[in-house]
Each structure stands twice: as structure tokens, then as C-alpha cells.
Chains A and B, each alone.
Chain A
Amino acid sequence: MIPAADYRGIDDAVLGGLKKPAPFFVVLVAVCGAGVGAALCAWIYQVQVGMGVAGINHPVGWGVYIANYIFWIAVAMAGSFVSGMLYLVRAKFRSAVSRVAETMTFFAVIAAGLFPLIHLGRVWVFYYVMPYPSQRELWPNFQSPLFWDLMAIGSYLTASWIFYYVGLLPDLAAAADHGAAAGPLRRALYRRLSLNFSFAASQWRHYDRSYLFFAALVTPLAVSIHTVTSWIFGMCILPGWHSTVFAPYFVAGAVLSGSAMSLAIIIPLRRLLGLAAIITDRHVAALSKIIAFAALLVGYTYCVEPFAAWYSHDLFERQFASFLATGWIAPLYWSLGVFNVAIPLSLLIGPVRKRLGLVFAISLLINAGMWIERVVIVTSATAHDFLPHNWGTYLPRWPEITITVGSFLLVVGGILVFAKLFPMAAISDVKEARTPSVDGVEVPPGRCGNLPRHGTILTALFDDPGSLLRAGAAVKRAGVRQLELFSPFPLSQGAELLGRGQSPVRYWTLAGVLLGGAGGLALGWWSSQVNGLYVGGKPPGALPGLLPAAFEFAAVTGVLFNFAGLIVHATLFNRQRVRGYDPRFSGSAFGLVAAGSETELAAARTAMEPFSKEINGGA
């Protein structure tokens, strides 16, 4: 464990992971690549020969592909949910695990997005479901859960990738300055990708606000994507699918499987990358508790489903519950209670949480259980519907198995590649989490102006944020009003010292949300009027059916506007870093830069001296 506030140690530990991979690592990536290649071949074979090569047939038309889709959506959801939600509730342990969870989301959403295409058979006609003005004047049905799902995947993919990238910005800048292990070419690339982020207080105030809004938008988007996925089933009238509890049930299941997948990745990765000092046993224990909590909710829904069937005296619900408990699917059904409730609940026991090998094994078992659960949900209802003569069975065939295994290797391989390309812990967040809060600094009122483009400046370096803020306050009291502060992580008092008020990024975000929501509603309503059809008993333009897609439009537009606002206000479009920037500011030093007349600079120097370890520039 690195001691609190050892910023150089944190840089070394995280950026050390970027060094050249060991042969074992390369072999692992190669194995993953081979598996993905085999899956690709199986898919090509399926496209060439037809969907008959898969095990899906009447009455079970949805099989392992759709189960895989739900499984990966769940994992993708949990990555951003864990990162965004924990940010909103100010959970400090998030800082160490968020990057791995977000990277997992990055690849899981790719894997998830592929399966509807694979299941489609004729993959080249996928664009039929997109809302665009076609010559045939055919529009997708905005009231269909399948369309909601398309919008949810598109929105979530966009939002989670931007969220990931924005989180990376300060770390890419730090890697450009200090990532010696990465080599000069990659460091130049990091510098470009970091958009010249300069760790200045005038940037942090926008970044901090913007990140909060990203978290506030990505979290409901994450919930919505799995909610909408659950509604693909819940809105049907088949026993076993039509259930009002499906939305929270799917979300709880996603948190369970996603957190377990995060742990299954974190535990070996911290060893492979030497991150044990950053991602500690305490972080593993905290994620374990989330898993146990989610398992309780999943267990609750497992009980509620058969209970409601019994409570209502509904003949079809009762026969379906009986089928699950005693039919050919019963071994899979009963295993769910073991894999997804009993085993995860063992994490409530303290000594279990402390044994990493055991936690890793439990995480894998939970993922196996959650995958089985998806298969049970997808296949059971169609295999055993209202009519006994329509009942059937399902068994996946080799193309389905190969593609399924390939999807797991795609995600694992992708994470391994990214682990060598990008920092696998959020450096600035870890530094912030390990820094004691600075109290007792009285910030003088008044607004500070930007530094001029030319002219003399005075730069002072500090070891800790407290000295920086005290020096900044002293300089401001001395009458100097052209100031900039630099810190390796956001300091709320930094923005206060500059007296700039709240970031206008919030207006961008609000405008994006309102525009997106209104636009989504308008497009849905207008497109439903083109042909004016009643679909499934719903009149064209019925409001409840338009709301889910409008929500997705609102959230994704909010994210895009938020990102644009951040780039504009934090001046991330500049080709140069903020004036006065020193590469040490992205590492372990804090900086205060002042500009003004000679008299003002002399006064600033006098004010800085008691706190600073190094002062440069000035007259």
C-alpha cells in the first residue's frame, strides 16, 4: 500500500503498467485473438449456410445469442453504473476500481451490440431498424421495445465511451509527462489524446462539474439500457416473460454480474500490472459487499416470481412455475439459487472477502450463474407457452458455442490490450482520494482574471495542496488579481480562490437534455403519423410508448452537449497547454502562477515565499 499523498509512488505504480508486456501476457492476448478469430469463422459459416446451423428453431426462436446479448449488456451496464453511481454517492474506493470497470464496459458493450446482429442472420439489413428518412417512407415503430433497445444501445455506447475518454484525459496528460515506460511515440500520442489538459484550476472547475454531469447522465442511462432490455420480455404476454418486476430484477442482476465480472478482471489484473498498491484488498472487499447486496435483491425477485404465480391463482403462471421447478430446465433453474444467491452471499463473511483466490472463484461462479440465468429466461418461456402441443426444447450447437466463447475472449483480450495502452487506475482520482481534506484556508473574495498571453509571470511550486491554497490566498490578499493554480487533481477551493463561480457547463448539459428529449418525442410522434398505423393496439403517437426512446435521446444529447461545453470552456481545443504549466504539476507538485506589474509580482513573491519550495520567473 502506497502511503497517503505519495503522488510519485501512485504515478510510478499506475504508469509502470504501461511498460512492454511480458511473454506470458502476449501469449494470453494471442489466445484471445485466436478465439475471436474462430468465432468470426463460425459467424461467417452461419451467414453463408443460414440460421439453421444454430440450435434455435420452433418453438424456441431466441437462444444463446440473445442470452449472450443480455449477459454482456448487464456487464456493460454495471461498469458505468459502478463508476457513475459510486461517484455520485462520493464513495472513495471508486477511484481505484473505476477505470477497470469502465474498460470492461467499453468492450462488453461491443460484445453485446454484436449479438443482435449475429442473431439477425442477414446482418446486412440491420439498418432497417435505424430511424432515417427512407425512400419507402418506412419508419421504425418508436413504441416497440426492440426499437427502445436499439436506441438504448446506441446511446449507451456513445455515452459510456465519452465517459471513459473524459475520465482518461488527466491520466493521458500525466502519462505523456511521466510515462517513461511507454516510450516517446506513445507519449506523444497520449499528449494528443489528452487534448493538452493542463491541470489548471480554470480547467478543473469545468472538468469537475462536467464529470459530475456525465456521472449523473450515464448512471440513469445504464439503468435504462437494462430496463429496456428487460422490457423486450416483460412487454410480451408469455408466462415467464410478462412480469412487472423484470426491470428492477434485470438491473439488480446486472449489478451482480457486472460487479462480479469487475472482480474477476481486477484480481488477476492487479497482479499482472503490479497494481496491488493501488487496488488493495479493501477495494476488493468493498466490491464484494456490493455483490452481496445485489444478490439479496436478485434472491428477492427469485422468490417473488413463483410467489406471485401462486398468489394470483393464474393457471398459466402456475403451470410455468411448475415447469421451471420440475421440467427439463429444472437443473438449470435450481442452480440459479446456488450460483446467484447462496454463493454471492458468502461474501458477507469477512474472512471469505479477505481470501482473494476465493473471491476470484466466487466471481467466476456468479458469472457462470448469471449466464445460465439469461439462458433460462430467454429459452424457457418460448419452450413452454400457453399451448401444450407447442412445447419444445432447446440445445445450442457448435456455432453458438464457438461464438459465445469468442465473445468472452473478445472482452478479455480487449481489456488486456487496453491495460497496456492506457493507465488502469484513475491517477488523479486516486491522488484525490488519498489526500486529506484541506481545512481552515480562508479564501479572500473577488474574481481573478486569466493570465495574459505575454509578459512576465511568477511560478511557485508546492508540495501539498494546503500550502498552495494558503499561498494563493496570501497572494490574492496582496492585491494580485491575475492568478492560475495547478494541481494533479481537482481542488474545490482552487476554483473558489479564482472567484470564477459555477461552471457554465451546466447550461450546456441542460440544453442538451431538453433539446434531445423534445427532439426524440417530436421525431417519434411525427414518424408515427407518416403511416398512421395502430400497432399492437396502440394508437400512433401514444405518449407512454414514446417516452423510453425520448429518454434515450435526451440522455445522449445531454452527454454530447456536456462534452462540447467542457471542450469549449476548459479550452481543450487549444494546441498549447495553459500558460505557466510545468510537467511536474501532473505528477507530485502543485503550482501557483501570478502575473501583473513588477510591484505586484514582488508582493506576490513575498506572499508565496513562506509556503513555496521553489519560485521561478518574475523580475
Chain B
Amino acid sequence: MAVRDETARRRKRAGRAAVWAIIVALGTALWLHRAATDGSARPALGPLVDFLYFVPLAAGFSVWSAGLTLSKAKWADRLESILLKGHGCAVPSLIALAGVWMLSRRIGFGRADHGGAWLAPAWLFGRDAVALAFFWVVAMLHARRRREGSGSFTAAVLAVLYLAVFSLIGFDGAMSLTWPWKSTVFGLYFAVSGLYSAAAAWTLCSAIDPFVSKAQLHDLGKILVGMSLLSAYLMAAQLLTVWYADLPAETGFLVDRLRTAPWRATGAGLVASVYLGPLVLLLPAAFKRNRACLGAVAALVLAGMWCERCWLVVPAFRAAPVAGFPEVALAGAFIGALGMVYELTSVPDPARPERTGNPKAGSAS
């Protein structure tokens, strides 16, 4: 009976993975068609935005697992199993980086005025690829250790490595687009906002799962609020400092994003959806414990964070139009890739409790 159940579950997973694969293929095809017919920088920006959005998100899953390990948190219980699938994104993320590397000249990396040898595409993407690969190796090691019931050391290394690697990717992949503008907090913000996206994705997956208790949802809601405040704090620290100093070399970043249409509206939308939205929408405890409400806020944050990546990247190319259908299709392909990884990555999944009683009822953890 158990073997038959397991076989049926595997078949279901394979079926879902196939659906995700079709979404990947469709999204990529649509974007390729656009890239082949449009010689401008615009189609090339899509992969960069998606790389900067989805890869920290996937890596963030592994880091949240490391955080649970380091804090010896017991509340998450089986919620950690989804996080341990994060390392399954290793290969797709490196493929995505390779794609961005191939398009780097078209995007604008390696211009004559672009930072000299330090920002030459080969060196820039080469070091990012090595750093990313190293991160994923440690993430895999951590997942293995967690399965064995240990992992404190790998968790600490993984957390430090995440901060270093994704700060570097933030500096290289996003901040360098507006070179010589610099912001020392940019790398930290980039890494933290990646963790924020990961927390939102984790919350969304948990809100869909009927076996996740209300107490766990409440804790996830608190994490979401905490991460929104931290991200807002770091972004405010950056923008307010630039605004106040009013230096010609710096204010361009602010003007392009907060004073110029359509990014001005996007910036206001980000404040409402990503930075202050969760705080206001999840203020009452009842909303944090409500599956639909929490899931909706997590989805809003995920959508908002994708817009935030566009907001960071695209205004650097003042002539480039806003994100359109090809970019959304490519983002769909990345979501499909995440879905495939989720279905195909093998993590020992603790047995589900029997469906006795109402799964929506809360249980204290």
C-alpha cells in the first residue's frame, strides 16, 4: 500500500514537473523570439533582472535553513523541508548567469567608460560564477548535514558566504550599471532583499500547504514584517543619504528612479507593496494567522520585489522602455524553473499527519 502511494506521489510530481517544463520552454521561446527581432538593449535586460531576482531568492531558501539551524528554532518544524530544496537551483542559476554573461556587451557591461579592467565582462562574470558555484557547493553540503541532523558549522559558513557572494553580485550586476555611482550599502541591501524575497516565497508556499499550523503562519508573518522593515531601513539609509548630500555624481540614481516617469510611480508602488505594505497589512495578529491574507501579502511582496529589481536595473538605461510581455514571459520561465526544482529535488519529507479533524485549525507550536 505504502509503495503504491509512493509511486502515485512520484507520478504526480513528474506530471507537475512536466507542466513546469512546458512553462519554461514557452517563456524562453517567447523571449528568444523577441531577442532575435529586437537588437536593442531591452530584451537583454530581462535575463539580468530575472537573474538578480530569482537567484538570491533561491539562495535565500538555503540561508533561511541555515538561520533556523543557527537559532535552533523549533517552531518551523517541517517547514524547513522546502528550504532544503534551495540548493536544487544551483545549476539553473549558473545557466542563468552564463546567459547574462553572453548578453553582457548588449546590456552595457564592458563599455569604454565602464570601470576599467575591474568591470570587464570576463573578469566580472568569471568571479561571480566562481563565487556563486562556491556558495552552492556549501549549500549542498549544508542540506546534506541537515539531513543527518547536524549542520551548525555549514550554516554559519553559508550565512557569511551568502552575504559576501550576493553583495558582490549586487555590486557587479546592478550597482555597476550606473558606474561611477557607488553606494556602500548597496551590496548589503541586495543580499537582504534577496532574503526578503525568499521569506515571501517560503510564506506563500506555506500558506498554500493546509498542514501548516496557524501558529507557524503567525511566525512566518512576523518574519515577513521584520524583513520588510529591514529592507525598507536599508533602502531609506541609501536614498536619504544620497538625497541629503545632493552630490551631482550621486543624485542621478535618485532622480532616474524617483523623479522620472514611469519609475516614479513604480517607486511609490514599492513603498506601498514591499517596504511598508506588509507592516500595515499584517499588523493585526488575525491577518498573520489567516492563510488567504498572509498568502496574498506574500504574493504581493514577490511581485513587488520583481518590480524592485526592474526599478534598480532598467532606469540605468534611460532610453530603454519599461518591462513588457517578453520580460514577463521570461520571468514565467524562471518561475517554471523554480517549480521544476521544487518538484524534482529530493528532500526527505517527513510523513504528513493523518487528515483527522480540520487541518485549518491552529495548533500551538
Where the two chains meet, the residues of A that have a C-beta atom closer than 8 Å to any C-beta of B are: 145, 220, 223, 227, 231, 234-237, 242-248, 296, 300-301, 304-305, 308, 310-314, 348, 439, 536-538, 544-545, 547-548
Whether the Cβ atoms of B180 and A245 lie closer than 8 Å is no
Q: How near does chain B come to A452, taking the closest CB pair, in angstroms?
A: 33
Whether the Cβ atoms of A304 and B184 lie closer than 8 Å is yes
Interface size on B, as a range, is 35 or more
Most chain A CB inside 10 Å of its own CB: which residue of B118, B183, B241, B364: B241
In-complex Cβ contact of B180 among A236, A242, A247, A312 (8 A)? A312
Return the chain A residue nearest B192 by Cβ: A248
Q: How near does chain A come to B223, taking the closest CB pair, in angstroms?
A: 10
A151 to B187: give the CA distance in the assembly, Å: 30
B167 at interface (Cβ–Cβ under 8 A)?
yes
Where the two chains meet, the residues of B that have a C-beta atom closer than 8 Å to any C-beta of A are: 115-116, 118, 156, 160, 163-164, 167, 171, 176, 179-188, 229, 233-234, 237-247, 364
Q: List 8 A-B contacts (CB under 8 A).
A: A242-B241, A243-B184, A244-B183, A244-B241, A244-B242, A248-B233, A310-B118, A545-B244
Whether the Cβ atoms of A245 and B182 lie closer than 8 Å is no
Whether the Cβ atoms of B240 and A245 lie closer than 8 Å is no
A338 to B139: give the CA distance in the assembly, Å: 29
Whether the Cβ atoms of B241 and A300 lie closer than 8 Å is no
A300 to B51: give the CA distance in the assembly, Å: 24
A227 to B185: give the CA distance in the assembly, Å: 13
Q: How near does chain A come to B172, taking the closest CB pair, in angstroms?
A: 9
A313 to B234: give the CA distance in the assembly, Å: 24
B188: which A residues are within 8 A, CB to CB? 245, 248, 300, 304
A301 to B185: give the CA distance in the assembly, Å: 9
Q: How near does chain A come to B154, taking the closest CB pair, in angstroms?
A: 14
Whether the Cβ atoms of A304 and B182 lie closer than 8 Å is no
B186: which A residues are within 8 A, CB to CB? 244
Interface of A is mostly: helix
Whether the Cβ atoms of B245 and A245 lie closer than 8 Å is no
Q: How near does chain B come to A281, taking the closest CB pair, in angstroms?
A: 17
A235: which B residues are within 8 A, CB to CB? 241, 244-245
Q: How near does chain B come to A296, taking the closest CB pair, in angstroms?
A: 6
The total number of A-B Cβ pairs within 8 Å is 90
A248 to B192: give the CA distance in the assembly, Å: 12
A234: which B residues are within 8 A, CB to CB? 241
A548 to B238: give the CA distance in the assembly, Å: 14
In-complex Cβ contact of B187 among A243, A296, A304 (8 A)? A304
Q: How near does chain B come to A533, taking the closest CB pair, in angstroms?
A: 16
Q: How near does chain B come to A241, taking the closest CB pair, in angstroms?
A: 10
Report the 6 A-B pairs with minimum CB-CB distance, sorted nearest first. A245-B184, A247-B237, A312-B182, A244-B185, A245-B185, A235-B244
Whether the Cβ atoms of B187 and A244 lie closer than 8 Å is no
Given contacts A235-B244, A244-B242, A304-B188, 6 further A-B contacts (CB under 8 A): A145-B244, A231-B241, A245-B184, A247-B185, A439-B364, A544-B243
In-complex Cβ contact of B241 among A246, A304, A312, A536 (8 A)? A246
Known: A304-B187, A312-B182, A313-B116. A244 touches B238 (CB 8 A): yes
A220: which B residues are within 8 A, CB to CB? 229
Whether the Cβ atoms of B184 and A308 lie closer than 8 Å is yes
A538: which B residues are within 8 A, CB to CB? 244, 246
Whether the Cβ atoms of B245 and A236 lie closer than 8 Å is yes
Return the chain A residue nearest B285 by Cβ: A502
Return the chain A residue nearest B183 by Cβ: A244
A300: which B residues are within 8 A, CB to CB? 163-164, 167, 188
Return the chain B residue nearest A437 by Cβ: B364
